[in-house]
């Protein structure tokens, strides 16, 4: 096991719950062994501080598993944490939801690991290679606890790069059960969706927007809806289920738009899509919004849910400028309510909201804030960097 020494300042942060140590923060390292995947942090008096995952191939080389006193990191340790996570999410099943996040990384005590459930299929995604030695044990534990028919492995890009051609594991691999075709059906608030668990973004579906989708359902009745960056059509399905007058989707991916049609047909089999009250536009969102403005098209409800504009801290300024431009373009075709969302953890919530306000101001519109939303209960965030999702609802005037 690797022994790590860090500064007093960082020791204080770790004691307060901060879960990460980066390479540049390590002052001394003892008994390094390339095969080791666990490390221990000691304070300046050589007293135990924390045990965690050791990943020498990453700049984020240490992730805290347990604080305060030495713990045996084994199946019993993981089972206790899994069951605690299950308790938090217990109410979701009663809401007609069979697709949700079971484990949300550090915030559920599994640093660098997420576990999503899609009905009878579990999707395990790793963000650090340090989990590989535990993978067989974890797969068995997760499968037994949920009696799932399949467990699928997904790997973040940094972890995939770590693997060589002879590795036992690969992205999209079925760890338990029969090989899956990729598409899995599940329910969310009683509505049906498909998740591409083998090749889809994240683990196959954007589960973190469930509560915002439900809110849109409640706002949609009788309204015309513009869904920008629609991806697999989650907001569109909810809007139609809520009785909206029409939906227009905008996305740059033909595959995403086709997936949206599949989700719509699952929920409204008696209808044919595209339809008079449902249209799709494939292309650049900014260009399509500009075209809609030139055509003097207006929508009662506009949804702006783009992919992350900032992948790192250096991109924050340009991301904020992009959010402002997007909201300006969206506000120019809004004659009612607007939802703007950001999924970038490198953009703080207050700065994102200010970018939204600037966008509406630059569109020359009056506005009133309706609500702000963040993480759902199955996406807990226990430290600053874990907060990534923020959304704001605005009533836009003429």
Distance CA 91, CA 98 (A): 11
Which part of the chain has CATH 3.40.50.150?
206-396
DSSP symbol at 179: P
Q: Say what the pLDDT of residue 165 is.
A: 65
Q: Say what the pLDDT of residue 398 is.
A: 75
Q: Say what the pLDDT of residue 80 is.
A: 97
Q: Say what the pLDDT of residue 34 is.
A: 53
Which tens digits make up the pLDDT trace of 189-225? 999 999 999 999 999 999 999 999 999 999 999 999 9
Report the length, in residues, of the chain: 398
Fold topology of 206-396: Rossmann fold (3.40.50)
Which part of the chain has CATH 2.30.130.10?
2-67
Q: Say what the pLDDT of residue 275 is.
A: 82
75: pLDDT strictly greater than 60: yes
Average pLDDT of the segment spanning 153-173:
88
pTM: 0.94
Which tens digits make up the pLDDT trace of 321-372? 999 999 999 999 999 999 999 999 999 999 999 999 999 999 999 999 999 9
Domain 75-182 bears CATH identifier 3.40.50.11820: no
Q: Is the peptide bond before 370 cis (omega within 30 degrees of 0)?
A: no
Burial degree of 69 (CB within 10 A; 0-12, 13-18, 19+) = exposed
pLDDT band for position 93 (cuts 50, 70, 90)? confident
Question: In whole angstroms, how far apart are CA 384 and each of 258, 335, 372?
Answer: 37, 35, 18
Which tens digits make up the pLDDT trace of 102-136? 999 999 999 999 999 999 999 999 999 999 999 99
Average pLDDT of the segment spanning 42-67:
94
pLDDT band for position 28 (cuts 50, 70, 90)? confident
**Which class is 2-67 in CATH?**
mainly beta
Average pLDDT of the segment spanning 281-290:
98
Distance CA 280, CA 257 (A): 7
Q: Say what the pLDDT of residue 222 is.
A: 98
pLDDT band for position 166 (cuts 50, 70, 90)? low
Burial degree of 139 (CB within 10 A; 0-12, 13-18, 19+) = middle
Which part of the chain has CATH 3.30.750.80?
75-182
């Amino acid at each position: 096991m690797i022994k790590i020494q860090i500064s007093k300042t960082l020791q204080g942060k770790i004691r307060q719950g901060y879960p990460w140590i980066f390479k540049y923060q390590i002052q001394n390292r003892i008994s390094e062994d390339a095969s080791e995947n666990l490390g221990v942090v000691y304070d300046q008096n050589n007293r135990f501080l924390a045990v965690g995952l050791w990943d020498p191939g990453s700049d984020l080389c240490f992730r805290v598993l347990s604080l305060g006193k030495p713990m045996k990191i084994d199946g019993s340790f993981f089972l206790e944490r899994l069951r605690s996570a299950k308790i938090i999410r217990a109410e979701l099943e009663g809401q007609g939801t069979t697709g949700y996040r079971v484990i949300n990384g550090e915030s559920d005590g599994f640093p660098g690991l997420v576990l999503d459930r899609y009905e009878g299929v579990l999707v395990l995604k790793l963000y650090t290679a340090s989990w590989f030695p535990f993978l067989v044990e974890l797969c068995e534990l997760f499968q037994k606890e949920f009696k799932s028919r399949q467990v699928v492995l997904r790997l973040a890009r940094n972890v995939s790069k770590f693997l060589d051609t002879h590795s036992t594991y690969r992205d999209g691999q079925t760890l338990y059960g029969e090989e899956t075709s990729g598409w899995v059906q599940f329910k969310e608030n009683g509505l049906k969706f498909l998740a591409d668990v083998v090749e889809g973004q994240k683990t196959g579906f954007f589960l973190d927007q469930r509560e915002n989708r439900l809110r849109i359902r409640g706002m949609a009745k009788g309204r015309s809806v513009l869904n920008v960056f629609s991806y697999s059509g989650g907001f569109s399905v909810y809007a139609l289920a809520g009785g909206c007058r029409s939906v227009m989707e905008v996305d740059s991916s033909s595959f995403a738009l086709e997936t949206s049609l599949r989700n719509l047909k699952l929920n409204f089999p008696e209808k044919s899509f595209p339809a008079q009250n449902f249209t799709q536009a494939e292309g650049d969102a900014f260009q399509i919004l500009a075209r809609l403005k030139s055509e003097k098209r207006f929508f009662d409800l506009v949804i702006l849910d783009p992919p992350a504009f900032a992948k790192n801290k250096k991109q924050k300024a340009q991301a904020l400028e992009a959010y402002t431009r997007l909201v300006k373009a969206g506000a120019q075709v809004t004659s009612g309510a607007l939802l703007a969302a950001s999924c970038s953890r490198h953009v703080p919530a207050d700065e994102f909201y200010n970018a939204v306000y600037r966008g509406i101001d630059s569109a020359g519109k009056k506005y009133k804030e309706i609500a702000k939303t963040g993480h759902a209960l199955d996406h807990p965030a226990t430290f600053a960097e874990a907060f990534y999702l923020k959304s704001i609802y605005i009533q836009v005037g003429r």
